[in-house]
Structure 1
Amino acid sequence: MQSLSNTWPGIEKTPGIVGGDACITDTRIPVWDLVQYRRLGATDAKILEAYPQFTAINLANAWHYADIYQAEIEAAICENEAA
């Protein structure tokens, strides 16, 4: 497991899990999936309702990661839309 916790608390990449995409720690929920859900109109409150194991801190970490690694997130979204 490649943890990003030194730079990105709560975000990790694990080879072989969700294609090695950045996920919320200890889940198989990729950051790109949350970004896409938000683009489809989901508010943070709706996302937290859909993922009751998450906290607002989990989302803040995901949004920060997505802001910094926009190209990675866009590529993952495009790849998964094409699948």
Structure 2
Amino acid sequence: MTPTFESIYDSVLHLPRGEQVRLLAMVALKVADASPGIDFDDRVCGGAARIVRTRIPVWLLESLRRGGRTDAELLAAYPSLTAEDLANAWLYARTHREEMDREIAANGDEA
């Protein structure tokens, strides 16, 4: 049975203050590492970071951008994408440079 928000909240309120602070810090770190607009699913794109609700991997967009494609060209080539999607992709690519380099190297012939 999956716990509800209310049951978790109630449980947290009954923790000692120090444990509440510790839990909050752990959750904050996890949320800070989250990537808005980016999704991961082992069953889609081999688990690579991708634009949410699409099958467009971030590494592909980053590879095209490194190759000189502009945001306008990418939006025209992928009509389902928005400018916000690209902004999310560029933020993810900047903060995960080594991952992007590996993915592009492994899949470079597909770009």
TM-score range, shorter chain: 0.7 to 0.9
Structure 2 unmatched runs, 5+: 1-30
Shift of residue 16 of structure 1? 2.2
Query: In the alignment, is residue 19 of structure 1 matched against residue 42 of structure 2?
Result: no
TM-score (norm. length: structure 1): 0.87
Higher helix share: 2
Which of 37, 56, 61 is residue 29 of structure 1 equivalent to?
56
Q: Which position in structure 1 is the counterpart of 2:84?
A: 57
Structure 1 unmatched runs, 5+: 1-5
Shift of residue 73 of structure 1? 0.7
SS in 2 for 1:27: coil
Q: Pick closer, same or farther for the CA change 1:56–1:82 going to 2, 3 Å.
A: closer
Larger Rg belongs to: 2
The total of aligned residue pairs comes to 78
Q: Which position in structure 2 is the counterpart of 1:3?
A: none
SS in 1 for 2:69: coil
C-alpha distance after superposition, 1:29-80 (max 9, x if no partner): 0000000111111100000001111111000000000000001111000111
TM-score (norm. length: structure 2): 0.66
Q: In the aligned structure 1, how far is the partner of 2:91 from the partner of 2:73? A: 19
Q: Which position in structure 1 is the counterpart of 2:35?
A: 8
Give % identity. 46
Moved over 6 A (4+): none
SS in 2 for 1:62: helix
